[in-house]
Chains A and B, each alone.
Chain A
Amino acid sequence: QSALTQPASVSGSPGQSITIPCTGTSSDVGDYNSVSWYQQHPGKAPKVMIYDVSNRPSGVSNRFSGSKSGNTASLTISGLQAEDEADYYCSSYISSTVVFGGGTKLTVL
Chain B
Amino acid sequence: EVQLVQSGAEVKKPGESLKISCKGSGYSFTSYWIGWVRQMPGKGLEWMGIIYPGDSDTRYSPSFQGQVTISADKSISTAYLQWSSLKASDTAMYYCARQDLWGQGTLVTVSS
Contacts and interface: CB of A to CB of B under 8 A. Distances in A.
Interface residues of A, number: 21
B26 interface: no
Q: Chain B interface residue count: which class?
A: 20 to 34
Given A96-B59, A98-B50, A57 B101 contact: yes
A52 B104 CA distance: 22
B100 A102 contact: no
A6 B102 CA distance: 22
Residue of A1, A45, A57, A103 ringed by the most chain B CB atoms within 10 A: A45
A5 B99 CA distance: 21
A52 B98 CA distance: 13
Chain B interface mostly: strand
A100 B103 contact: no
B35 interface: yes
Contacts of B104: 45
Contact of A102 (B44, B47, B97, B101): B44
Contacts of B50: 98
Contacts of B103: 45
Nearest to A58: B100
A51 B97 CA distance: 12
B80 interface: no
A18 interface: no
A69 interface: no
A45 B105 contact: yes
Nearest to B59: A96
Nearest to B96: A45
Interface in A88-102: 89, 91, 96-102
12 contacts: A3-B44, A45-B95, A46-B97, A48-B97, A48-B99, A51-B99, A51-B100, A91-B47, A96-B59, A98-B35, A98-B50, A100-B45
